[in-house]
């Protein structure tokens, strides 16, 4: 089932022996368009420390209770490596988190380590059809290299969407598939173009993302979007 990302903000993350904190944000991979981490604010428990929890730790969500159970203990979270979320998440941070929790990295890309017992993987899964691969400069140090594909959903809310023949609106939300935490659609508010109308735009249509301009370019004309179901 598809769920709005914004609706899950504030959900409680619940360990096997108590609540960890509330969901503040999601980090997603802009190549695969999959949620890679839940950003959790631990509040008074860990003095406002924010921690990263991978989707593979999530058990069946309790939607009515607004709870995301995880098969982790509070002690595991408390003793997890510190991640300064005011700075880019580096490959070294990924490695330390995955090794601490014993997670398996499901988002291996060329040149990025697979964090499963320290092994390195160079085989990348196939890209979804039409999803742009964004070129990023290669830093000097692999260990200290910031992950260029990790993006905040909160950051991308409000980005403008540009069709091949003009702007169509801005990103209002994301629809996430709870089965595998893939972002299936962006919810786009077209109020400046089609008053009162909202449409869905698939990441498969994305041609490129201009992060400096806060704009997402899609490889479809405005007419196709105008004729799409509301």
- pLDDT tens profile 53-80: 999 999 999 999 999 999 999 999 999 9
For residues 26 and 37, what is the distance between their CA atoms, to the nearest angstrom? 6
State the average pLDDT for the chain: 84
Residue 64 neighbours by CB distance under 10 Å: 6
Q: CA 219, 158, 84: angle at the middle one, nearest 5?
A: 110
Per-residue confidence (pLDDT) for residue 48, from 0 to 100: 86
- How far apart (Å, rounded) are the C-alpha atoms in residues 95 and 100? 8
Output 111 or 229, whichever has higher pLDDT. Answer: 229
Q: What is the DSSP letter of 28?
A: E
pLDDT at 229: 78
Residue pLDDT, tens place only, 112-170: 433 333 332 223 334 444 444 444 445 445 555 778 789 999 999 999 999 999 999 99
Cβ atoms 147, 88 nearer than 8 A: yes
Nearest C-alpha neighbor of 109 from the set 92, 91, 88, 97: 91
Q: Write the CA distances from 185 to 27, 95, 201, 206, integer angstroms.
A: 16, 29, 5, 11
Is residue 25 a contact partner of residue 152, using CB atoms and an 8 Å limit?
yes
- CATH placement of domain 154-226: 2.30.30.240
Q: Which of 61-70, 78-87, 221-230 has the lowest mean pLDDT?
A: 221-230
Q: pTM value?
A: 0.81
Q: Tokens 């995880």 appear where?
A: 70
| CA angle centred on 37, ends 40 and 181, rounded to 5° | 120
Mean predicted confidence (pLDDT) in 17-23: 97
Token output for 111: 């040149």
> Domain residue spans in the chain?
154-226
Entry field: residues in the chain: 230
Give the residue among 192, 196, 200 at the shortest CA–CA distance from 169: 192
Q: What is the pLDDT of residue 119?
A: 31
């Amino acid at each position: 089932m598809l769920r709005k990302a914004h609706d899950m903000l504030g959900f409680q993350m619940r360990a096997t022996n108590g609540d960890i904190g509330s969901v503040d944000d999601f980090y997603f991979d802009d190549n695969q368009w999959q949620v890679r981490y839940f950003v959790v604010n631990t509040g008074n428990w860990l003095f406002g420390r924010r921690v990263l929890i991978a989707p593979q730790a999530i058990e069946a969500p309790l939607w009515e209770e607004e709870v995301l159970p995880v098969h982790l203990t509070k002690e595991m979270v408390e003793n997890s490596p510190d991640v300064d979320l005011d700075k880019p998440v580096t490959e070294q941070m990924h490695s330390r988190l995955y090794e601490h929790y014993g997670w398996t990295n499901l988002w291996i890309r060329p040149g990025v380590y697979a964090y499963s017992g320290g092994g390195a993987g160079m085989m990348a899964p196939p890209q979804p059809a039409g999803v742009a691969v964004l070129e990023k400069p290669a830093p000097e140090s692999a260990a200290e290299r910031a992950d260029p594909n990790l993006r905040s959903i909160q950051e991308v809310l409000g980005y403008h969407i540009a069709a091949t023949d003009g702007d169509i609106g801005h990103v209002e939300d994301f629809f996430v598939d709870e089965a595998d935490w893939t972002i299936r659609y962006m919810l786009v508010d077209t109020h400046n173009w089609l008053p009162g109308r909202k449409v869905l735009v698939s990441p498969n249509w994305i041609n490129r993302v201009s992060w400096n301009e806060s704009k997402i370019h899609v490889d479809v004309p405005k007419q196709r979007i105008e004729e799409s179901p509301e």
